[in-house]
Chains A and B, each alone.
Chain A
Amino acid sequence: MLAQNIIFGLLAVAMALSAVKLVTTKNVVHAALYLVVVLAGMAAQYILLAAEFVAVTQVLVYIGAIMVLVLFGIMLTRAPIGVTPELDNNSRIPSAIVALFLFGSLGAMLLDAFGDERFDLNNGVATGASGGNMVRTADSIFSQYLVPFEVVSILLLAALVGAIVIARRD
């Protein structure tokens, strides 16, 4: 119980600091690397929440594939590698007010709704009952959510073809 809270705290601090650096740093490549820290921390939090398959997928898809795409995007748009002073537009203070207001209202709502509700660490998901969460997730995808799963595969195919059509020179 205590160890989980300590790990959560360390990860949360690292993720929060990296997220803030991600939106304030003046270097585009550093921003991508801070995003890697946040995504890896997120995968660790998923393991803490007993979602091991989603954590592995997060590492594979986000850190493996999407970050490579983003770095390619940085490279192909010839973004300045190194410190660039002009990465923010001139609406920093209104944006900060919007974000703080959003966080305040979301936080107040969450505290009001869930207070100090604790996870039941003896339930089926937490203990990995009936073969573990990976087995249950697979059962769920390939029975109850089979049609959405197929729709997602069509969506990925369409997005891939669309990306090629949009980006190629002709």
Chain B
Amino acid sequence: MLLNQFLILAAFLFCVGAYGVLVRKHAVLVLMSIELMINSVNMNLIAFSLRNDNVIGHVFALFVIAVAAAEVGVGLAIVLLIYRNRRSVDPGEVSEMKG
């Protein structure tokens, strides 16, 4: 197995996730795209763990999964609050803090 096949797959998924974050109008879909990006970073950590012959990448990936779970919980709470106040979940419409 090449190291690069995993890294390039992860890079592709990261870029697809970035496209989703930029283009989606529904905040839950934006959160899903962020999950995709986080996962592709995890794949890099695991691949380099095998390459460098230590398990620190596995530990780091577990921490990333825990932080992503926290992020999704708080993110969905914020989305629900925005929906309750504005009846819309378009991130482009939430622009009160625009200078």
Contacts and interface: CB of A to CB of B under 8 A. Distances in A.
Interface in A39-76: 39, 42, 45-46, 48-51, 53-54, 57-58, 61-62, 65-66, 69-70, 72-74, 76
A114 B1 CA distance: 13
B26 A124 contact: no
B24 A87 contact: yes
Interface in A1-46: 1, 4-5, 8, 12, 15-16, 19-20, 22-23, 28, 31-32, 35, 38-39, 42, 45-46
B97 interface: no
A70 B16 contact: no
B54 interface: yes
A23 B33 contact: yes
Contact of B58 (A53, A62, A77): A53
A77 B80 contact: yes
Contacts of A158: 70
B47 to A, nearest CB: 6
Contacts of B74: 159, 162-163, 166
Interface string B41-52: 011001101110
Interface residues of B, number: 71
Contacts, number: 251
B73 A69 contact: yes
Interface in B1-41: 1-9, 11-20, 22-29, 31-33, 35-36, 39
A22 B20 contact: yes
A66 B11 contact: no
A151 B29 CA distance: 29
Interface in B53-76: 53-59, 61-63, 65-74, 76
B1 A118 contact: yes
A159 B73 contact: yes
B55 A133 contact: yes
A57 to B, nearest CB: 6
Sort A-B residue pairs by CB-CB distance and give the 6 closest, nearest first: A159-B70, A23-B20, A95-B22, A99-B19, A167-B77, A103-B15
Given A89-B24, A141-B62, A155-B67, 14 more contacts: A22-B32, A23-B19, A49-B46, A77-B80, A87-B25, A99-B22, A119-B1, A136-B55, A140-B59, A145-B59, A159-B71, A160-B73, A162-B74, A163-B76
12 contacts: A16-B13, A49-B43, A51-B49, A73-B28, A73-B79, A89-B24, A103-B15, A110-B4, A124-B54, A137-B59, A156-B70, A167-B80
